Structure 1
Amino acid sequence: MTDALRRRVEAWLATRHCDGNESEDIAMTTRRALLAAPLALPALARGAAAQGSWPERSVSVLLGYPPGGVTDFAARAVSERMGRALGQSVVLENRPGAATAVANTAAAQARPDGYTLLMGTSTLAINPALQPSLTPRDPQTELTPIGTVFRTAFVLHVHASLPVRSTAELIAYAKANPGKLNFGSSGTGAVNHLCLELFRARAGIDVVHVPYRGGAPALIDLRTNRIQAMFSAAQEALPPMRDGATRGLAVSSKERMQVLPDLPPVADTLPGFDGVFWQGLFGPASLPAPIVARAGAALREATTDATLVARMAEQGVALTPGDADALRRTLAEETVMWGQLIREQNIRPE
């Protein structure tokens, strides 16, 4: 504060007097605030400048899955392209464990400076109901949505010996043979397991859930007819379908998949059915708006890259450019949807 300005403030304060509605303490607080406010301006300016120049060094993006697989591939490819757009390296860090809670928690507890972000997935909408002891307990308030990355449907396929060729025929067969169909999944609480539970509830059928530790061992048993059906990720379902070991009936999304255009949605038989796996970019709570905007713009540039869009489509993955509001809606809607299903079906972790 300049001397002239200080003298003017002092002179104005000297004219102030306390009436019945103003205590000496309030007057003193006002005096201190007025005199100190200009001193805070340089700090505020430095903070705004820091946000405006973000990023000034490399950015870490956490992922709750191990290397390999479509989730890792997509996150790594998108991070690389974001780095090009931002002019700084964006490094993917795999931190698997505790149903992705290891990575989720680390991101939620990071400083909100934009240098630690999270490639969050559908588990953020599932964990609060399935495993409420895991952190973050409320991702909707403990994380800041930045933008959507991708969504991918599952393929409902059956062993080739099963005498069904459509979703309607599968439902009819299950009703005629209650408790005799074994449905595999990559684990209790996985999105493909929840698709099965949604399918079972909507169709009103009695089938046996057989959880595995991952999709690969489940597919081995599907090939050998130890289990008869499964919702599988497209890139996992394609090989056994192509060699005739399994038969594709439908996809779990409301829309058809580019890689399997002949397969109709389950929703054609069970209206409103929609179960997909998604990925989105998040930051810690209170991430400044300018950083959210800049990171979101870089993410959109990455997810609209024509080469990457084509490569991901071949894997059955649809890149879905969307802003923070779109991701916030997805998380909110699926937290309600999966939470309701988990409670109604009394699903418990293994």
Structure 2
Amino acid sequence: MLNRRLLIAGALAAPAVAARANTWPQRPIRFVVPLAAGGGVDMMARILAEQLDKALGQPVVVENLVGAGGTIAAANVSRSDPDGYVFIFQSVSSAVINALTYKNLSYDPVGGFAAVSLFARFPLVMATYPDLPAADLKSLIETLKAEPTKYSYGSSGVGTVTHVAGELFNSLTGAKLVHVPYRGNSAVLNDLLTGRVAFTFDGIAPLLPHIQAGKLRALGVTTAERSPALKDVPAMKEIIPGYELPFWTGLYAPARTPSEIITRVSAEVAKIAANPAVSSRLASLGVEAVGMPAELFDAYWRQQLDYYRAIVGQSNISLGQ
């Protein structure tokens, strides 16, 4: 009798599910970015939001909700109604590193979200201002060992991937760069350009114009291979064995968001990533457009949690609240 009731309930629910998929969305969609406006992650989020706006026929409104390394935004979204009208555009920082380093979060950084689609992959760049007395990464390491704690690096916040990048550098080279956390990448860039901090790790997009203008010097990229956008800049692992830090961005929804909505949005993101105009625009910024079905992105996300867990442990990073 119970099985029959379940079958009847499922049959009655099926038309409602189909109707919901066909009628959604009916109002603007909130698109949360856990970083300040103007940085590389924000730029990618706005490119995706602009295209989703067209694809879904409703405004996709970007909201920059900053603070506490992305945990404020993530907590906000994880507690939102899972109705398909709120998403969060996360990077490795908030989707992976926060789950590994913050011990007393007020939300579940893994179970609180449903993976929708991987959007982009790209390297971070280790950049410095040109007046620093080191022409390349090898000579820089020698300089840092000769003058420990003299130089600082800025990150976009405690617990972000740019923080981890600096601590991994310290761990593998024996350097003692002093960490200076900021509230977002734009503030770091402003101080880097004026020499208030010596280094930063950031995506290619916000740094490239300044590198091309000679206002910043690129020393290395964090991917295993060199970037097509910076062909003359070595992969850091060429100089520092074991240094590899994959960086990516992806779209998430609150847990229990209807699967048919997640499937639809994931399919739209894949179309957007495959659009030559979008992929070319991202490539010009040193970013590879990806797009990935939700179930594959979920598996990739969990693999990355394991990968970064080893890096965080190797670097002795403790960022718990």
- The TM-score normalised by the length of structure 2 is 0.84
Query: How far apart, in 2, do the equivalents of 1:54 and 1:239 lie?
Result: 43
Is contact 1:194–1:338 with CA below 8 Å preserved after alignment? no
Residue 65 of structure 2 aligns with which residue? 96
Query: How far apart, in 2, do the equivalents of 1:226 and 1:67 lie?
Result: 21
Query: How far apart, in 2, do the equivalents of 1:80 and 1:207 lie?
Result: 39
Residue 134 of structure 1 aligns with which residue? 105
Aligned partner of residue 202 in structure 1, secondary structure: helix
Is contact 2:98–2:160 with CA below 8 Å preserved after alignment? no
Residue 18 of structure 2 aligns with which residue? 49
Matches within 5 A, 1:253-272: 253-272=223-242
- Cα distance change, pair 282–164 in 1 and its aligned pair in 2 (3 A): same
- Cα distance change, pair 36–199 in 1 and its aligned pair in 2 (3 A): closer
Residue 85 of structure 2 aligns with which residue? 115
> When the two structures are aligned, how many residues end up with a matched partner?
317
Aligned partner of residue 178 in structure 1, secondary structure: coil
Which range moves more in the overlay, 250-259 or 238-247?
A: 238-247
Residue 307 of structure 1 aligns with which residue? 277
Does 2:40 correspond to 1:81?
no
After TM superposition, give the deviation of residue 283 of structure 1 in Å: 2.1
- Cα distance change, pair 246–101 in 1 and its aligned pair in 2 (3 A): closer
- Cα distance change, pair 155–92 in 1 and its aligned pair in 2 (3 A): same
Query: How far apart, in 2, do the equivalents of 1:90 and 1:226 lie?
Result: 40
Residue 159 of structure 1 aligns with which residue? 129
Is contact 2:49–2:62 with CA below 8 Å preserved after alignment? no
Query: How far apart, in 2, do the equivalents of 1:82 and 1:338 lie?
Result: 30
After TM superposition, give the deviation of residue 184 of structure 1 in Å: 2.7
Aligned partner of residue 134 in structure 1, secondary structure: coil
- Specify the code of the residue in structure 1 equivalent to 2:17: A
Is contact 2:156–2:185 with CA below 8 Å preserved after alignment? yes
Cα distance per residue 1:247-269 (max 9 Å; x no partner): 22111222322322221211222
Aligned partner of residue 160 in structure 1, secondary structure: coil
Is contact 1:151–1:320 with CA below 8 Å preserved after alignment? yes
Matches within 5 A, 1:239-258: 239-258=209-228
Structure 2 gap ranges (5+): none
Overall identity of the aligned pairs, in %: 26
- Specify the code of the residue in structure 2 equivalent to 1:46: P
Matches within 5 A, 1:322-341: 322-341=292-311
- The TM-score normalised by the length of structure 1 is 0.77
Residue 15 of structure 1 aligns with which residue? none
